[in-house]
Amino acid sequence: MAARMVILFLFIIFPSFASSQAIERIVTAEETPTNYTINGEVTGTTTAIVREILRLLDREVEIEIFPWARSMRIAQKEPNVIIFTAGKSSERINHGFHFLGPVSTRKHVLYKKKNSSIEIKSIDDLIRSSWVIGGLREDWRVIYFKSIGLPVREFNTHEIALGHTIRGNIDLWISSDLEAPMVARSIKVNINDFEIAYVIKEAPSYLMFSKDFSPKLLQEWRQAFSAMNETDFFARTAMEWSSYLNINLAHHRDTGFFIRD
């Protein structure tokens, strides 16, 4: 009882004590190739960055993997949460999230089947159509389409969304040039059976930190990330993942990882 009173006294009299005791909670979702599981182990290009920062900070923090919507709820409600890999949308900025990166840049697109007659030249074509769009629940791209009045079917994983595209339940699948080939491979689908119907935009993604994230911890993460840019970590990691994914992955500090044309 006395020990508890001492701790409570320190938290009240010395707020910095509470901050110094803060620890990170790290959450993510299944999204190849940036963050996903192989044999129960969380891996991916962004995961490699997170693990390297933890190594530099000499910290051991479990990376928890949930459906994206659940990870977002945790990041929105709890302090000291890191969630990845996340786009920087106006809604997230207004919420108060902090961002570190970019860790990757990709072309965010709508995919269609190759035999589809769908033609999209502008967002207006989508608004006037009756095409069914599907994407990841709580994904910023899904939120964007819903904000302009488009009905979007939401799924817990990209793999489920792609499966519904294959079966004809949805006409257009929201994905990106970086994740789509790996998603297709994971369910033994040939990505060449699909083509890009519309490029939403090319945009970077980040590590995202909850609104009430400890300023001290956030500064430590920023410093570690900056230090990594002065080493060969990103070049080595791009080479390793290029070989594993069979894509031409490159890295630049202004874009993070990207597919070189």
Write down all domains in the chain, each with its CATH number in brackets. 22-105+204-259 (3.40.190.10), 107-203 (3.40.190.10)
pLDDT at 102: 98
Rounded CA-CA distance 135/218 in Å is 31
pLDDT at 21: 53
pLDDT at 23: 83
pLDDT at 138: 87
At 253 the three-state DSSP class reads coil
What residue type is 207 in one-letter code? L
Q: Residue holding tokens 């990103």?
A: 234
All residues at 6 or more sequence positions from 110 whose CB lies less than 8 Å from its CB, including other chains: 120, 133, 172, 173, 174, 196, 197, 198, 200
| Residues pairing with 65 in the sheet | 28
pLDDT at 8: 41
| DSSP code for 212 | T
Per the prediction, the chain carries an average pLDDT of 90
Kindly report, residue by residue over 63-118, the tens digit of the pLDDT. 999 999 999 999 999 999 999 999 999 999 999 999 999 999 999 999 999 989 99
Task: Please state whether beta strands 36-38 and 41-43 pair in parallel, antiparallel, or not at all (unpaired).
Answer: antiparallel
Instruction: Determine whether 114 is exposed, middle or buried from the number of CB atoms within 10 Å of its CB (0-12, 13-18, 19+).
Output: exposed
Residue 175 pLDDT class (50, 70, 90 cuts): very high
At 53 the three-state DSSP class reads helix
pLDDT at 1: 47
pLDDT at 52: 98
Kindly report, residue by residue over 234-257, the tens digit of the pLDDT. 999 999 999 988 889 999 999 999
Rg (CA), the chain: 20
Give which of 138, 120, 139 is closest to 129, Cα–Cα: 120
pTM: 0.79
| Residues pairing with 252 in the sheet | 256
